[in-house]
A and B are shown apart, each in its own frame.
Chain A
C-alpha cells in the first residue's frame, strides 16, 4: 500500500513549456485534489475530483488542467508554464474527512 504517489519530486521548466505532474493513489479513494503551496500563503486548492470522470475548479485553477479517467490517477497539466507557477504542488486523496498527501513536487519555472 503506497498511499499517494507524486512524480516528479523536483522539476525545472522554461517559460512556455508544458508538463504533467503525476498523482496516483492505491486506496480506492473517490476524492482527489491538487494544491499549491507558496510562502506565507499556506495551501490553495487548484482543482479537485469527486470521482472518475468528474472534476471541478478550486480557488486558483487558471493555467492548470486536470482529468480523471480512473479512480487511481489524477494528473495535473501545465499547458504553458509561467514564472508565477513556481511553487510546491501537493496531490491529496481523501477518505471521509481524513486527507492523505503525496510528497509534493517542487516546480521552478525560469
Chain B
C-alpha cells in the first residue's frame, strides 16, 4: 500500500522569505503522479503543482517549485518570495498511474504554513 508522510505539522516564515515543505512517500510503483494542494481558510482545495514520476525535470509554477527525488521517494515544495496569501494548509498527494488505480489520491496529513507580515 502507498503512504504519504509530511513530517512538518506547522511552519511559519516571514513574508518574502523562501520556505520548503517536505513530503516523502512509499510505493513499489514505477509510474505515478505527485501533487501539492493548497487549502486556505476558505476550505477550497487548490492544485498548486504536479509532477509525473517519469519526468526527471522538476515541475515549476511561478513561485512554486518542487524537488523530486525519485530514488529517495521525496517530493518537497519550495515557495519563493512568500506572500501573506500563501498562508494555508498544504497537502502532498500520490496517485498511481494505472487504470486500475481508479485515480485514487493518497494524501499526507498536511503542513500548516503561516506567512508572517
Contacts and interface: CB of A to CB of B under 8 A. Distances in A.
Contacts of A88: 43
Contacts of B9: 40
Interface stretch (A19-27, A78-86, A98-106): A98-106
Contacts of B104: 33, 45, 48, 58
Interface in B58-117: 91, 95, 97, 102-105, 107-110
B44 interface: yes
B24 to A, nearest CB: 14
Interface of A: 31, 33, 40-45, 48, 50, 56, 58, 88, 90, 92, 94, 97-99, 101, 103-104, 106
Nearest to B43: A104
Given A43-B105, A48-B104, 20 more contacts: A31-B103, A33-B104, A40-B9, A42-B4, A42-B108, A43-B91, A43-B107, A50-B102, A56-B102, A88-B43, A90-B45, A97-B50, A97-B103, A98-B47, A99-B45, A99-B105, A103-B43, A103-B44, A104-B45, A106-B43
Nearest to A31: B103
18 contacts: A42-B91, A42-B107, A42-B110, A43-B105, A45-B105, A48-B104, A50-B102, A88-B43, A90-B45, A92-B45, A94-B103, A97-B33, A97-B95, A97-B97, A99-B45, A103-B42, A103-B44, A104-B44
B86 to A, nearest CB: 19
A92 B103 CA distance: 11
Nearest to A38: B109
Contacts of B108: 42
Contacts of A31: 102-103
B107 A101 contact: no
A92 B102 CA distance: 13
Contacts of A33: 104
Contacts of B4: 42
Contacts of B107: 42-44
B117 to A, nearest CB: 26
